[in-house]
Amino acid sequence: MHINGKEFRTIWFENNIVKIIDQTKLPHQFIIKDLKNIKDSINAIKTMEVRGAPLIGATAAYGLVLSIIENNDQSFLKKASEDLIKSRPTAINLKWAVDRMMKKLSGVNSKEILKIAINEAHAICEEDISFCKNIGLNGLKIIEKIYKKKKDTINILTHCNAGWLATIDWGTATSPIYHAHQNGIKLHVWVDETRPRNQGANLTSYELNEEGIPNTIIADNTGGILMQRGEVDMCITGTDRTLASGDVANKVGTYLKALAAYDNKVPFYVALPSSTIDWNLKNFKDIPIEERNSEELSFIEGLDKNNKLTKILIYPQKSKAMNLAFDITPAKYVTGLITEKGICEASSEGLKGLFK
Ligand code: MRU
């Protein structure tokens, strides 16, 4: 998609260096950063310079490429793969991408390994772009149906950033929105601010602005009253891990939005590529929920009056804070899953129907 009218992807590989857009600096600064070795890759994932389930998977894949460039040795590669998997726990795409790479690379001789690794990391990215595009085309059908009935601007609520910045291109939750916009459907997006890191305000609103899509940032607690007033036609969110049962882990606060949507009969869709499905875990209570540093809550960063990026403390100095990064929305609150293969019920029958 676009930044300042110029087409970008979130990650690319150039002259043995991985290039990323540093998402900790958006929307105030647009900085392209170099990742040169495995340490840089793990750090970028941990500090959320790159974030969003598909993008951290792709970063991990390129991280393994960088580890081979750094030290072409199987035990170094194995250690790199283990450290990458540990860098963020909730999004299954990370493990999925590392496992896929390691399946190709384990035991391969040192003369061929780099080329194979580069090709596989590229393939993961190309596949994600095509999956996200198809998610958009499938989701477009739902939006078209609502538009036919309403014949007026459709209000879509989204949480966090499941936009192109969370993937390689298109996004998951935003892909149907971009496709609808390109097809002339009038849209407006309610963007949940998404405390504490404000991915909604800092990233989703930013990327929608760059594509010319009308949007309004709301505090995370506002969605309920908007639904009661009939000002939300549908919700679409992304997910970091969806179980075969259809239960969905996503950015903390998603569950509360799904409850409000259920109570107000607002359709609540979750968009995901198949790389986000965890076919193994049976019970949603076993999904590891990341707990991040509480300073993400107690400190906030923004521009001061002199346009200088500043970080300030907003909580009482003596207060404790707790920062759980994800929550789980049980399948019964999800109207449907929008995938690259089509739309299905959030259930094992639904998913099995699409993914034999
Ligand atoms: O903590 P983040 O910013 O990595 O969380 C991102 C989300 O929760 C997204 O909704 C999810 O990864 C889906 S991305 C297409």
Ligand 1: residues with CB < 6 A are: 51-54, 91, 160, 162, 166-167, 172, 199, 238-240, 250-251, 325
Residue 91's pLDDT is what?
98
Euclidean distance between CA atoms 318 and 280, whole angstroms: 42
Residue 259 CB contacts under 8 Å (≥ 6 apart), including other chains: 333
Ligand 1 pocket test: which of 95, 251, 269, 289 has the largest number of ligand atoms within 8 Å of its C-beta?
Answer: 251
Arithmetic mean of pLDDT over the chain: 98
Euclidean distance between CA atoms 269 and 333, whole angstroms: 9
Calculate mean pLDDT across residues 120-124.
Answer: 98
* Tens-digit pLDDT profile for residues 145-156: 999 999 999 999
Residue 102's pLDDT is what?
98
pLDDT higher than 90, residue 356: no
Q: Which numbered atom of ligand 1 lies nearest the CA of 250?
A: 8
Query: What is 69-94 written as a DSSP string?
Result: HH---HHHHHHHHHHHHHS-SS-HHH
Within 13 Å of residue 64, how many CA atoms lie on the same side as its CB?
37
Q: Could you give the domains of the chain?
A: 2-127 (1.20.120.420), 142-354 (3.40.50.10470)
Span from the CA of 295 to the centroid of ligand 1 (angstroms): 19
Closest Cα to atom 15 of ligand 1: 162
Calculate mean pLDDT across residues 7-34.
Answer: 97
Closest Cα to atom 8 of ligand 1: 251
* Tens-digit pLDDT profile for residues 33-92: 999 999 999 999 999 999 999 999 999 999 999 999 999 999 999 999 999 999 999 999
Q: pTM for the whole thing? A: 0.97
CB 121 within 8 A of CB 65: yes
Span from the CA of 138 to the centroid of ligand 1 (angstroms): 20
Is 233 one of the catalytic residues? no
